[in-house]
Amino acid sequence: MKIRLGLVVLMVAAMIAVPRSSAADSSAPRVALVIGNTRYPDADKPLSQAVSDARGVADELKRAGFDAELGEDLSGDAMRRAFDRLYQRTKPGAAALVFFSGFGIQSGRQSYLIPVDAQIWTEPDVRRDGIALESVLNELNSRGASVKIALVDASRRNPFERRFRSFSAGLAPVIAPSGSLVMYAAALSAVVTDNDSAHSSFVGALREEIRTPGLSAEEAFNRTRTTVTRASRGEQVPWISSSLAEDFVFAPGVATADKPTAEKPAAATAPVEAAKPAPAPPEAKPPQAAEAKPASGGDDDKLVLALASDPTVKSLTAQIADKPSDGNAYYRRGQVYASKGAYRTAIKDFDEAIRLNGKDVEAYNNRCWVRTVIGELEPALADCDQALLLRPNFVDALDSRGLLHLKSGRDKAAIADFDAALKVNPRLTSSLYGRGLARKRIGLASEGEIDLTTAKKLDPNIGKEFAGYGVK
């Protein structure tokens, strides 16, 4: 019913340092964990590049002398066991690397890696089922790793984002311990789409740079960023943060001279960010904060003006200006506007997303929900019906249409949709609460009260949320 948030690839890399660093000592352990997750039940289809990217990175690291463990399509338990093995292999003075390719979610200003069996319906589920990048880096640090490098290629449009009442696209900045080097495949809060090639452009560029003899880790990552940025014409700009005190290299040897700019951009064009963590973008407020009443046109204009400086909105607006045919950017900006209460502006963005891709089921569902909130019920019904035609039993569209029926006074139809949604996810708070209201309306007082009580235990604010929709 709501805006979902929210893909993931993580890598913490072990590197070899120049002679003044203990990590450069041939006796210092170099350990790695490489994970590629592709098959998420909530996604329409498997991710096309995650496993092949993970295999390619693992091969590259083994050639560089790393003790690299490769995991594919790991469940939560399997991922935790794999990380435990990595921690056990991490000795004082070691360099440690973790690569994760799959879905990632930003929640509470942290980035989480998502296992293939995660059940993500609310933001607390992210913290329960996901693995926090900061926790990984801190654990490696506590084990005495002198080098901790995280490469994250998880900035994908994921199947969970619309289930949250707040919205934060992409990944969050990392507050990492000293001696860490973190790189995301895309900018903070940005989302990119996989292409049809065997490997992502990010991993392809990365593999080329880390095999260069004598090239420092920061230089290799800077070159990777510049290569990806130019290849994507600025649509994908990797993000780097470093607190490394000394130079580290993947492949020992004498550093080679830079190639001509057209082939190998100089790192000076993309300097590594300062060691201090980048400031976190402002957290999205729950929609109910702006939903005491449907926004009027004037209120919408004020919200849009206030959001003009929001980093996510600024980035997406720039993407749209540069490429007006980017339906994904319109969709994501619509999500931000909707989560902040700028409903009519959100509808305009969803209109564009659907015009550019008539099968964008998420855009249809989100437009249905926003239209329902502001009382445009008949167009909303057409949108929900279209979403369910494109994806039968789509739980979020069932939940949205249930709310629509509830607002329309069609209580039995609302119960039918909420029942269908709860068969997919018995813990879907909004469907529980909506069904409780509908049951009480038709005289099923005790059954309705059970639903309402259960929903309030899961989310104490659910009643205020529905009141914001004009439903009590």
pLDDT score recorded for residue 310 = 78
Among 324, 351, 326, 325, which Cα is nearest to 337's? 351
Say if residue 412's pLDDT is above 60: yes
68 by Cβ neighbours in 10 Å (0-12 / 13-18 / 19+) ranks as: buried
Neighbours of 135 (CB within 10 A): 13
3-state secondary structure of 251: strand
pLDDT score recorded for residue 417 = 96
pLDDT score recorded for residue 20 = 39
pTM of the model: 0.58
128-152: average pLDDT: 91
Paired strand residues for 451: none
Terminal Cα-to-Cα distance of the chain (whole angstroms): 17
Task: Determine contact, residues 284/340, Cβ cutoff 8 Å.
Answer: yes
pLDDT band, residue 235 (cuts 50/70/90): confident
User: Alpha carbon of 278 to those of 186, 242, 334: distances in Å?
Assistant: 14, 10, 25
Paired strand residues for 30: 95
Say if residue 256's pLDDT is above 70: no
More confident residue, 198 or 245: 245
pLDDT band, residue 415 (cuts 50/70/90): very high
User: Alpha carbon of 78 to those of 8, 114, 305: distances in Å?
Assistant: 17, 12, 46
Structure tokens at 242: 């470093």
472 by Cβ neighbours in 10 Å (0-12 / 13-18 / 19+) ranks as: exposed
Instruction: Report the alpha-carbon distance of residue 33 to residue 99 in Å, rounded.
Output: 6
Question: Can you list the domains of the chain with their CATH numbers?
Answer: 3-258 (3.40.50.1460), 287-468 (1.25.40.10)
pLDDT digits (tens, 9 = 90+) for 325-359: 988 889 888 888 887 889 999 999 999 999 999 99
Instruction: Report the alpha-carbon distance of residue 53 to residue 73 in Å, rounded.
Output: 13
420-433: average pLDDT: 88
More confident residue, 274 or 309: 309
pLDDT score recorded for residue 470 = 86
Instruction: Report the alpha-carbon distance of residue 181 to residue 148 in Å, rounded.
Output: 6
pLDDT digits (tens, 9 = 90+) for 360-389: 988 999 999 999 999 999 999 999 999 999
pLDDT band, residue 124 (cuts 50/70/90): confident
Task: Determine contact, residues 91/13, Cβ cutoff 8 Å.
Answer: no
pLDDT score recorded for residue 433 = 95
227-255: average pLDDT: 83
More confident residue, 120 or 258: 120
3-state secondary structure of 336: helix
